Amino acid sequence: MNLQPLVVPAENPALILDDLERAISGECALLPLPSTDHARARVLRASQRAGEHIENTALVMATSGSTGEPKGAMLSPANLVSSADATHKFLGGAGQWLLALPGHHIAGIQVLIRSLIAGVEPLCLDLRTGFHISAFAQAARELKATDDRVYTSLVPNQLVKAMDTLEGIEALRLFDAILVGGAAVGPDTLRAARELDINVVTTYGSSETSGGCVYNGKPIPGAQVRTDSSGRIHLGGPMVAHGYRNVPDSPAFATPGWFATSDLGTVVDGTLVVSGRLDNVIITGGLKIQPEVVENAMLAVRGVREVCVLGVPDPRLGQKIVAAYSGAVSPGEVISGLDDLQRWQLPREIKQVEALPLIGPGKVDRRKVANLFG
């Protein structure tokens, strides 16, 4: 069969449910495309060779492409169905789903597939003008009225936005579980969610693993996690893609059934702790640090909502640590709250912004952040 482009309508992604059902039945292979980003859609059509032959694939799901041309993870029907089944097993059963993420990304697609597997019609938010708490709350109430289990999937900034209002908090409490992924959730946010009786389930995974496959640090049923001698995280299981459409023989899939991520971490008592990305290491004055170390310290400062830390060229240090963040506290207050960091680990330059630039749901565009510092 040939790879067919599939434009996912932002106003109602549920319109592609029939197409997805054919895909997971093995009748077609689809390349989901955004309806509101024509430039991105053109790049995906070209890079993933839409219209050309493909085998054993239901969906080609693009990566964010933040460091170059997006790669296309080839996911089989078995990959997608096993992921959906494992999610429901972890959560305690199937239920009603609210789609509050773009439908052309893997996290959004999986909300649709889980709904198909459960035999229910998902409720989808119209995100063309953004994520609005009033619409989210109304949808949550509508789902709760079914007397079924109710779930949704969010990125951290959506969760924080909802927790900023009473209406949002009341809506979040209606869900039996809220999957939150795409980026790290700050400890302050998780603590507040627990205190407010909001059941947040942190997720870790990617397009290459049919979405999240590690929930609250634990592999979902069928998934496996291990780290190699360098600390690189490897994810295995029936939900792992069989390769990239446009990167044949990628070393990331060198071991069948396993995906070698670009992340570093440790497994402690069966729980995965992600410490950072291999390609994000900052070398400043001859010393190495993962930006996530500084990011986690900044997120622990009350009032900080989002953070991006990176290294930019510096004639004396090689790289200097810089940070951009959003939140109600001043840069001086942020620095004052970083007592646990060593002096050389503190950002040399820090900028407060209204919101961090994104390249996908919850994923910060590090290139644009770097441009803030010239």
Would you list the domain boundaries of the chain? 77-273, 281-371
CB 331 within 8 A of CB 352: yes
pLDDT at 314: 87
pLDDT at 67: 47
CA distances from 137 to 72, 133, 140, 165, 171 (A): 34, 6, 5, 11, 5
Tokens for 147, please give them. Answer: 């007397």
**pTM of the entire predicted model:** 0.86
Return the CATH number of 77-273, one of 3.40.720.10, 3.40.50.12780, 3.30.2310.20, 3.30.1450.10.
3.40.50.12780
Alpha-carbon span 75 to 25, nearest angstrom: 13
Place of tokens 């789903």: 97
Architecture of the structural domain at 281-371: 2-Layer Sandwich (3.30)
Tokens for 81, please give them. Answer: 């169905």
pLDDT at 65: 55
CB 263 within 8 A of CB 233: yes
- Phi and psi based region of residue 298 (left: phi greater than 0; alpha: psi -120 to 50; beta: remaining): alpha
pLDDT at 315: 85
Nearest to 109 by CA among 68, 145, 62: 62
Question: Can you list the residues of the chain whose pLDDT is less than 50?
Answer: 66-67
What is the bridge-based pairing of β-strands 29-34 and 3-8? parallel
Q: Which residues pair with 225 in a beta bridge?
A: 235
